[in-house]
Structure 1
């Protein structure tokens, strides 16, 4: 029906505008000067585009250090999260655990905990064990906070793998962990990629824990480092916008490269049969 197709296209345009317009606005702002940004009436497109703001991003603050910290923390926390989530999902699907439904409910409850309620115990724990202002102060919390979602994603995939495949692998000499590594994980690669992307993006974008547990400049991640461009009485929006674009680019490239696997993982994980 034409009317139904029009509604679908309208909904798609609204979703696309909601996703792309803020990013385009930040991009256009990053190419403006301070004077042009304050000009009235406001212009969307820059009249005289400049890359000076991007130069200032790299000269005013050690943004490469912030990006390295974010990349290291996000990568290590993702590896830890996916490893533990795979073990947890396999145990819940294959092993005869007592009250698996209760365990799944506990996982969901952990995922719903407000982050601000965990700040004080996390800070005290990291200070006690001497991990403040280190990568590990962020790696462990990021991995734990992403585990419930990643575990649920992997459970949906593991349930579709016939038991006969891993039984055959164990008959051939594989241990249970060997069957998980050599049989289950390769067959559920889209789910593993989906879980890994979700964990990586959550760690890359997180701000509150990074600000609290790693406030030193040498250990700051990119979201916290961007706040250093703000002065006491000044808020240089063009420079901050340029820094935001630099922060968005790695995630955009990651999603573009693994788009098919992520979309396939999200759709296949929701289909049974």
Structure 2
């Protein structure tokens, strides 16, 4: 009987491993094909049969993306907008999350439900009024035209994550600070915030990714080439009669690098923030 249980458990583990292998392979193959296609010469991208390994390797697509299509400007624009919005979201979200988690106030449930509804609201529904508002105040084709909406749309989700993470922190630290005469703001800055770094990293990674890959607002609010971000810039590569697939692949690879580095560097903190704080209510 015991032998049958071990055999059944071993089969279950094998099935799980097989499922993981299938998922990882299905996710990795498009990324692999994107990278190798960016290293091919234009005539080899659509070759039949396809080349699974570029021969020879060519970095001409990367050079063309930066020299001919101005990808460096798009990269700088995306970095400015995304970093600024992420910093604002973390600053405002941590303050709001701490207040909702620890400070006495009425209507906390209503506030959290409102934030949830806002976070689920489709962004396309607010594009027309947002465009009219930005045009009225003269913010079209500017960095703040994207920084402010990105902050507003990503703030509710960040507050949810950070508020739930703050709830998971022990209250003894705050009580010690109050005994020493520290104000709530001092307790938040000196005691709570250093303990909440995994939650901050989790909210930061999600916010950075959402802002970095956003397309519709960037296309609508910034139609000047000087303020276009990476998603819009790549979408406008080439002409209707000439689509530079290799250059698009190369630019896409470069665009993925910051997110990949961010996730790799903070992967442990993100997992810790999701498991120990973000799923608690």
Q: Same fold (TM over 0.5)?
A: yes
Deviates more, 1:43-52 or 1:260-269: 43-52
C-alpha distance 88-18 of structure 1, shift in aligned 2 (>3 A)? farther
Q: How does 1:47-66 map to 2 (within 5 A)?
A: 47-66=55-74
In structure 2, what is the equivalent of residue 115 of structure 1? 123
In structure 2, what is the equivalent of residue 188 of structure 1? 196
Q: How does 1:29-48 map to 2 (within 5 A)?
A: 29-48=37-56
Matched position secondary structure for 2:62: helix
Deviates more, 1:207-216 or 1:38-47: 38-47
In structure 2, what is the equivalent of residue 159 of structure 1? 167
In structure 1, what is the equivalent of residue 255 of structure 2? 247
Task: Tell me, in whole angstroms, the C-alpha distance in 1 between the residues paired with 2:278 and 2:119.
Answer: 19
Within the candidate set 237, 240, 247, 1:232 is matched to 240
Cα displacement (A) at 1:65: 1.4
Asked whether the 8 Å contact 2:167–2:277 carries over to 1, the reply is no
Asked whether the 8 Å contact 1:60–1:229 carries over to 2, the reply is no
Deviates more, 1:239-248 or 1:218-227: 218-227
Q: Which runs of 5+ in 1 are unaligned?
A: none
Q: Give me the TM-score of the superposition, normalised by structure 1.
A: 0.94
Residue by residue over 1:204-260, the C-alpha shift from the partner in whole angstroms, topping out at 9 and shown as x without a partner, is: 111111111111111111111112322121111111000100111121112111122
Within the candidate set 98, 103, 107, 2:111 is matched to 103
Task: Tell me, in whole angstroms, the C-alpha distance in 2 between the residues paired with 1:234 and 1:223.
Answer: 19
| Aligned-residue CA RMSD (Å) | 1.7
In structure 1, what is the equivalent of residue 211 of structure 2? 203
Residue by residue over 1:141-166, the C-alpha shift from the partner in whole angstroms, topping out at 9 and shown as x without a partner, is: 11111112211111121112233322
Q: Which runs of 5+ in 2 are unaligned?
A: 1-8
- Is 1:128 equivalent to 2:136 in the alignment? yes
Task: Tell me, in whole angstroms, the C-alpha distance in 2 between the residues paired with 1:5 and 1:206.
Answer: 39
Task: Tell me, in whole angstroms, the C-alpha distance in 2 between the residues paired with 1:150 and 1:18.
Answer: 30
Task: Tell me, in whole angstroms, the C-alpha distance in 2 between the residues paired with 1:16 and 1:180.
Answer: 40
Cα displacement (A) at 1:270: 5.0
Task: Tell me, in whole angstroms, the C-alpha distance in 1 between the residues paired with 2:96 and 2:116.
Answer: 14
Q: Give me the TM-score of the superposition, normalised by structure 2.
A: 0.92
Asked whether the 8 Å contact 2:90–2:200 carries over to 1, the reply is yes
Task: Tell me, in whole angstroms, the C-alpha distance in 1 between the residues paired with 2:79 and 2:279.
Answer: 33
Task: Tell me, in whole angstroms, the C-alpha distance in 2 between the residues paired with 1:250 and 1:62.
Answer: 18
In structure 2, what is the equivalent of residue 219 of structure 1? 227
Larger Rg: 2
Cα displacement (A) at 1:9: 0.9
Cα displacement (A) at 1:200: 0.9
In structure 1, what is the equivalent of residue 87 of structure 2? 79
Residue by residue over 1:17-39, the C-alpha shift from the partner in whole angstroms, topping out at 9 and shown as x without a partner, is: 23221111111111112221222
- Is 1:25 equivalent to 2:33 in the alignment? yes
Matched position secondary structure for 1:217: coil
Task: Tell me, in whole angstroms, the C-alpha distance in 1 between the residues paired with 2:274 and 2:197.
Answer: 12
Task: Tell me, in whole angstroms, the C-alpha distance in 2 between the residues paired with 1:122 and 1:72.
Answer: 21
